[in-house]
Amino acid sequence: MMMAGLRERKKEQTRRRIAETALRLFGERGYDAVTVNEVAEAAGVAKVTLFSYFPSKESLVLDGVKDDAAAVVDGRPEGRTPLAALRAHYSALAHQGDAAGVDVEGMLLRVQVITGSPALLEGVHQARMEQRHELAAALARALPGRGLAPQLMAAQVTTAVTTLQEVFFLRLSEGMPLEQAARRLGEDVELAFDLLEHGFAAIEGERA
């Protein structure tokens, strides 16, 4: 058991080193200008080792971009609605943002690399499309016989989450401290899910 644990820690350290090396090189020279061979050499691993951790060049940056909202719906506790499960999930993620040890510079560098590459932007778009379709399927399983409702709900949730992420990273890029940005994100998650649950009436009612 101890040896297995050591092996897993070593594998995770190697994976992190490769990803961090790739991000640094992409940030310095641009995604298109850096080859996989150069990343492997700089990280001190063989090319075949790199591909055992990351199946493609894009995955060096996009690994982990896709959020498995469908699994949140499928795995929700009995008696909890899909929307309540999703609210709890994204609220927990927001609160993780103010944890010690979060690499803000690394997060912003990743955003910079992605936005500077049409191929990576397309990869993000594809990941979000897949997430929306998978979430729609999970909602259809949770709410059978509702016609187009699961697809429309999935579209609204994924669009709201994308907007939350964009605003969060914008605040960080403008110099807002992580703790404050994470707190604002937590508030925004509640607002977003209030709107998803109650529609425009949640806001219009305040002005009536």
- Tell me, what's the pLDDT at 31? 95
**105-155 pLDDT, tens digit each:** 888 999 999 999 999 999 999 999 999 999 999 999 999 999 999 999 999
Of 18, 39, 59, the position where a domain reaches its end is 59
Distance between CA atoms of residues 182 and 7, nearest Å: 34
| 184's tokens | 């604002």
For residues 43 and 87, membership in a common domain is answered with no
Confidence (pTM): 0.85
Secondary structure (3-state) at 71: helix
For residues 82 and 165, membership in a common domain is answered with yes
- Tell me, what's the pLDDT at 104? 87
User: What does each C-alpha distance from 181 to 170, 174, 184 come to in angstroms?
Assistant: 10, 10, 5
For residues 40 and 55, membership in a common domain is answered with yes
- Neighbour tally for 186: CB within 10 Å: 17
Residue labelled with tokens 């994204």: 90
Angle at which helix 178-198 crosses helix 149-173, to 10 degrees, equals 160
- Tell me, what's the pLDDT at 100? 56
Greater confidence, 44 or 203?
A: 44
DSSP symbol at 99: S
Is the distance from CB of 122 to CB of 61 less than 8 angstroms?
no
Distance between CA atoms of residues 156 and 161, nearest Å: 9
Mean pLDDT of 56-84: 92
Per-residue pLDDT band for 98 (boundaries 50, 70, 90) equals low
Residue 109 is part of which domain span?
64-199
